[in-house]
Amino acid sequence: MKWYKKLHWQIIIGLILGLIWGLISSAVGLNQFTSDFIRPFGTIFVDLLKLIAIPLVLASLVVGVSNLNDMAKLSRMGGKTIGIYMITTTLAIVIGLTIVNVMQPGKALPEETRMSLMESYTEVVDDRDQAAQQVLDRSPLQFLVDIVPENFFEAASDNANMLQVVFIAIILGLGIINIPVQKGRALINVFEALNDVIIKIVDLIMKMAPYGVFALMAVVIIDLAGDDLSQALNLLRALGWYCLAVAIGLLLHVLIVYSSLFKIFSKMKLRDFFKAIQPAVLLGFSTSSSAATLPVTMERVEKNLGVEEEVSSFVLPVGATINMDGTSLYQAVAAVFIAQALGMDLTIAQQLTIVLTATLASIGAAGVPGAGIIMLVIVLQAIQVPVEGIALILGVDRILDMLRTAVNITGDAAVSVAVAHTEGKLGKLHFDDESDIN
């Protein structure tokens, strides 16, 4: 197969062309056209992915749990998954804190830029602050209450309720393995068929991926640049050191933590791991949403990394909801950056508080664009840094969101390999033409 016909290259080409189109569109005043006639294709693409996420998680997890065939295995796998997620998240924050303390990007921000940024984003800051306040007003155990739905259809009606759907699938699967095998088999067959159908639909949707990604990228650029490209470039230049700190931190996390995890738990070459998950990572990058990317992540991890469904159907949806290493690392860098820019020196105790709150804030962040910056408010409040400070970083948040989402997805995939290995569920690879990794 010619290189440019391979899916990941097509997505990369779509991404680059989208970027170029966005720049041209901003430079020559075609933003209205791009918004009216190109944006909808990006939206349709993301909506299609979101549309199949809930049925896919439900069907594959019911099949997964009924294959596991025993409650003890499930709880062991659950404990292991959450444990590894917590460890990688903590490491991400430690890496973020190290980088930001070494590079000190906040101290490099000119006073003038700081003042003008604070002025221009006050309203948006208020919005984010209110959203975070709603989270803070909830009782400490509300997250547990939220996992258990009171109504099946309500749970399935909103992608933000992914953990509720995971819960429903688990109890459904457990119910099935506790009734006579023949009766249960009929229901499992239905879910198996549904699962296969949805996997086929993922393949179909992915045919649209290069175009969808083109549209998404073009829109990101016009939203960022507006009609004044030079202003956007100035902003990027002013916050360049901060963006670089986040990017270096993310890169180190992938290279150190995920690579080690993968090397320990898989015999596959590291290069092949990255190739295998490339389409999912690129989609995460262009959609800024781990939740929307979930169907593709599941498909790649199962087919191209050989993680069996019993593991992937549990580890990945839970990961897309609670495991956000990229987000937590970014929150650590952002919080310290803001403190530095506002002339505040953080004590060791405050930095340790960041480790704790950024872990919780990343768990609480939904897998949707911009969720990380809302939860950043909570981190800032905990270390007594004025939340208005997020005005400093709002302008470049979308770009960093793309990077951190790509890392979040890589993390989920790496952990699913680790869990699968320890459970003896790292099986054969099932390539097909469209998803050939080479």
The minimum distance between CB 390 and ligand ASP, in angstroms, equals 13
In the complex, what is the shortest distance from the CB of residue 386 to ligand ASP, in angstroms, rounded to a whole number? 21
Q: Look at the alpha carbons of 294, 263, 322, 100 in this order and tell me if their dihedral is positive or negative.
A: negative
- The distance of closest approach from Cβ of residue 327 to ligand ASP in the complex, given in angstroms and rounded to an integer, is 3
State in angstroms the smallest separation of the CB of 67 from ligand ASP.
Answer: 28
Angstrom distance (rounded) from CA 409 to CA 169: 22
The residue at minimum Cβ distance from ligand ASP is 372
CA gap 285, 268 in Å, rounded:
24
Nearer to ligand ASP, 103 or 294 (CB): 294
Give the nearest distance from C-beta 404 to ligand ASP in angstroms: 5
Residue placing its CB nearer to ligand ASP in the complex, 88 or 288: 288
Instruction: Provide the phi-psi class of 331: left if phi over 0, else alpha when psi is between -120 and 50, else beta.
Output: alpha
Strand extents, DSSP E, 142-185: none
- What is the separation of C-alpha 48 from the centre of its chain, rounded to a whole number of angstroms? 17
Residue 426: phi, psi to the nearest 5? -100, 100
- H-helix segments, 253-347: 259-265, 270-287, 290-305, 309-322, 325-341
Name the minimum Å distance from CB 258 to ligand ASP. 15
Considering the complex, state which of residue 6 and residue 404 has its C-beta at the smaller distance from ligand ASP.
404
Q: Which residues contact 414 (CB under 8 A, 6 or more apart)?
A: 88, 258, 261, 262, 273
Residues lying near ligand ASP in the complex (CB under 6 A) are found at 288-290, 324, 327, 365, 367-372, 401, 404-405, 408
Give the residue with the Cβ less far from ligand ASP, 184 or 370: 370
Minimum Å distance from CB 369 to ligand ASP? 5
Beta carbons of 214 and 17 less than 8 angstroms apart: yes
CB-nearer residue toward ligand ASP: 66 or 323: 323
CB of 63 or CB of 318, closer to ligand ASP: 318
Longest dimension (CA), the chain: 73
> Of 176 and 280, which has the nearer Cβ to ligand ASP?
280
Q: Please say whether the beta carbons of 103 and 228 come within 8 A.
A: no
